[in-house]
Every structure is written in structure tokens, then in C-alpha cells.
Amino acid sequence: MSSNWGDADFPPAPIVSAQTAGFVARPLVVARAATVWFVAAGCWLLAGLASELSSKGAVTVFVTNTSTVGRTDQGTVSVTHTATETVAPAIVLTIVAVLVALWVGLIFLVRNGANWARITLLILAIIGELTTLSQILNTFGGTPPDTWAIVAGLLDFGVFWLVIAGLIMMFQPNARPYFRHR
């Protein structure tokens, strides 16, 4: 048998398996963790949208202005005026969408075995869980929520538990070798 590259006969290339080449196949638990994370990110985006549709969802910024009116022998007389302003829903939803995009990017990196992304996701998840818990308590505490606030609260509740499930799956003993070899 001759090849197109000359007169020499070359044996066929050896068959190399993924294990022989040093690759570790993605464990099913990592694939499932990524799926759970993707669902959590989608729910968080929908919760942000529902929160903006709610009457409780307006992000309020407090602006305080203090001005000095005059000085007397007893001290300075000043007047403080506090006003509230709401942030436009488009700005809030844009921020939420950018955060979800970054979250999804980290999930893809974790799914592909980047250990630094797994640790980063762990740290951000701990911070995010505290924020999500605060959102749930704000939604269902105090004044009765409207329909969209209830939807947002239930989605936040789902995100809370999905993130915990994703964290547990991501750090299972059979997932660790996948992250060590990358």
C-alpha cells in the first residue's frame, strides 16, 4: 500500500482512548450540576423580571441633600432634605441580564472542568444565597405582596434550593477527579 505522501508504507495510527490520552470524561453528576445551575440562572432572570413588574419591585435610591442656611452663636443651622428616586426598570433588567450572562459563562467553564471557576462559583453562590434569602424575606414579610411579587418570591425560593443542589452536586467525590485533571 502506498500513500499519497511518498513511496513509504506507514502503519495506521494507534487508537488512543480518552483515558490513555490523560483526559477524564465528564461525570454525570457534573453534567447534572450544570443543568441545575442553568435552570437556577433562568429562574433568577425570570424572578428579576417578575420583581420589576411588581409594585414592590422598584429599586429605590435615597438621595440626601444637606445645605447650610446660616450660622449663629449657638452653631450652624442646616436643612436636610431627603428624596427618593426609583431606578428605571430597563436599567435594573440590563444589570440582571449581564449578571446572568456572567453566571452562565461560569457554569460553562465549570461544566468543562475549570476548577477555578468551580471555586469562584462557590464563593459567589454563598454571597448570592444571602441576597436571595433577603429577597425572599422582603417579598413575603411586611405588606402583602401582589401577584408579580409572589411569582418573584417563588422563583427566588426555587433559585435558593437549586443553587444548594448545584453546589452539592458540584463537590461530590466522583466529580473531584474531573476538576483535578484540568
Question: Strands 60-72, 75-86: parallel, antiparallel or unpaired by DSSP?
Answer: antiparallel
Give me Rg for the CA atoms of the chain.
27
Query: Hey, what's the cell of 14?
Result: 494507534
pLDDT at 21 exceeding the cut of 60: no
181 band by pLDDT with thresholds 50, 70 and 90: low
Average pLDDT, integer, range 37-62: 78
35-49 b/e (C-beta count within 10 Å ≥ 16 → b):
ebbbebbebbbbbbb
Highest mean pLDDT among 34-38, 55-59, 77-81: 34-38
Verdict on whether the full-model pTM lies above 0.75 = no
93 vs 126: which has the higher pLDDT: 126
**Tens digits of per-residue pLDDT, 132-172?**
999 898 888 877 888 888 899 999 999 999 999 999 999 99
pLDDT at 146: 86
Q: Which amino acid is at 14?
A: P
| 3-state helix vs strand vs coil in the chain, percent to 5 | 55, 15, 30
* Cα distance between residue 128 and residue 159, in whole Å: 10
Query: Hey, what's the cell of 169?
Result: 452536586
Query: Hey, what's the cell of 71?
Result: 450660622
φ/ψ of residue 47, rounded to 5? -65, -40
pLDDT at 4: 58
pLDDT at 62 exceeding the cut of 60: no
CA 110 to chain centre: 13
